[in-house]
Copies of this chain bind each other. A is one copy, B any other.
Amino acid sequence: MMANKEIPYKIYLEESEMPKYWYNLRADMVNKPAPLLDPKTHKPMTAEDLAPVFCDELVKQELDDTTAYFAIPQEILDFYKMYRPAPLVRAYCLEKKLQTPAKIYYKYEGGNTSGSHKLNSAIAQAYYAKKQGLKGVTTETGAGQWGTALAMACAYLDLDCKVYMVKVSYEQKPFRREVMRTYGASVTPSPSMETEVGKKILAEHPGTTGSLGCAISEAVEKATSLPGYRYVLGSVLNQVMLHQSVIGLEAKAAMDKYGVKPDIIIGCAGGGSNLGGLIAPFMGEKIKGNADYRFIAVEPATCPSFTRGKYAYDYCDTGMVCPLSKMYTLGSGFIPAGTHSGGLRYHGMNSTLSQLYDDGLMEAVSVPQTEVFKAAEEFARVEGILPAPESSHAIKVAIDEALKCKETGEEKTILFGLTGTGYFDMMAYEKFHDGKMVDYVPTEEELQKGFSYLPKMD
């Protein structure tokens, strides 16, 4: 700890200071997240049940809520060294612009080619697939950050990678598609004629531009029907949360090194991968009574799982083939309005985060997208980095909290997660610049319709 040392603009850990273990927050939770259930029998899923879909080692991680630390394999540590440690940035310029006494830090995860934190779990999942002797993996992608990350990880490990990309994104984001192809992935617009579920959906809805739920169903079908393949997922699951704990562990190590303790920790929340990873070690301390922090999850007003959803068992996908998870959810049939934060358009939330929220250990707010883009632009102009719309949800609330400090004169320390860059989101920025971006808040009726999709539990 160097409490008196001047804080640099960017804190980089030395390679020797990088985390060597992932932290499994569930091990320290008093109320554990509810188990995954079989969608038909409603019985807890066993390792055997999950083995046809997921890699063996990842199933173990998914089901383990007692082991606090998992050693990160050396091969993954080596890969991490190519783009980690990610910097912890002191937002001096933003503070100055806001004229706030608050001290603002952000953990920047966008400095790798995938453009987001997704790579942290992609390399782990690809590694375990390779170790199991598999030929390849399948996945879905919406906005494309996860697909890109997985393509990069698979290229590195010489593993085949099949990505089902929601058709509307495939067409609107051709550059994302080409990045994945550069890394050797095959990219199929979903729904496709490659799978039974894809054919069925196309027969029922001939002109459909696809959905994440449909792409998941196609990827799962492909993984289970092709010998030597498994399915991998970029968020929602607890294994992903485990891998993403590297974000929080690094952030905490960097802060500890300079004797800084955050008062408020803020993350955007879609499926929960970034938020869960960022808060993990801090939340562990809070649960153990060793420290106190305010945690704020920020979600889009169009898809308010925490703030307006129900805490219930629900399907993880629209096709209702995946296990049931107990989570804050808007219902697997809820269709969020078109928003420019594709990465946050998921009806549910990771089960661990859901439990923490239900236990009152975390707050949540929802924000409209025009305010998010306003904050994004303000941030970009003074801090340089062009943020992804998803990440900008956290920026918006960090600025709000810093402005509250300006009113009260409090010198709070704020930490937020800057998960990624917006290079492939310029169409959204264009709409914002041209004043064509609209906000949408789902009506009570729309929410009730979504809840009607919830499974009946005994």
Contacts and interface: CB of A to CB of B under 8 A. Distances in A.
Contact of A424 (B113, B383, B423): B423
A174 interface: yes
A212 interface: no
Interface string A105-119: 000000111010000
Interface stretch (A286-294, A306-314, A358-366, A374-382): A374-382
30 contacts: A8-B14, A9-B15, A12-B12, A82-B93, A83-B384, A111-B111, A112-B385, A113-B384, A113-B385, A115-B423, A155-B380, A156-B382, A174-B427, A175-B423, A175-B427, A178-B426, A178-B429, A179-B386, A179-B423, A179-B426, A179-B429, A181-B430, A181-B433, A182-B377, A182-B380, A182-B381, A183-B380, A184-B381, A423-B423, A423-B424
Q: Taking each of A113, A155, A385, which has the highest tally of chain B beta carbons within 10 Å of its own beta carbon?
A: A113
A81 interface: yes
Interface size class of A (residues with CB under 8 A): 35 or more
Interface in A364-398: 377, 380-386
Contact of A381 (B10, B83, B183): B183
A400 to B, nearest CB: 21
A178 B430 contact: yes
A81 B8 contact: yes
Given A112-B384, A423-B423, 13 more contacts: A8-B15, A78-B92, A82-B93, A82-B384, A93-B156, A112-B385, A115-B423, A152-B381, A174-B430, A178-B429, A178-B430, A179-B426, A179-B429
A120 interface: no
Contacts of A182: 377, 380-381, 386, 429, 433
Contacts of A92: 78
A421 interface: yes
Nearest to A8: B15
Q: How many copies does the complex hold?
A: 2
Interface of A: 8-10, 12, 14-15, 78, 81-83, 92-93, 111-113, 115, 152, 155-156, 174-176, 178-179, 181-184, 377, 380-386, 421, 423-424, 426-427, 429-430, 433
B8 A426 contact: no
A458 B182 CA distance: 52
A111 to B, nearest CB: 6
A62 B175 CA distance: 39
A78 B9 CA distance: 9
A83 B9 CA distance: 9
A203 to B, nearest CB: 30
B433 A156 contact: no
A360 B377 CA distance: 48
A8 B152 CA distance: 21
Q: Nearest 5 A-B pairs (CB), nearest first?
A: A175-B426, A9-B81, A178-B426, A155-B381, A423-B423
Contacts of A426: 174-176, 178-179
Contacts of A383: 82
A15 B184 CA distance: 38
A430 to B, nearest CB: 5
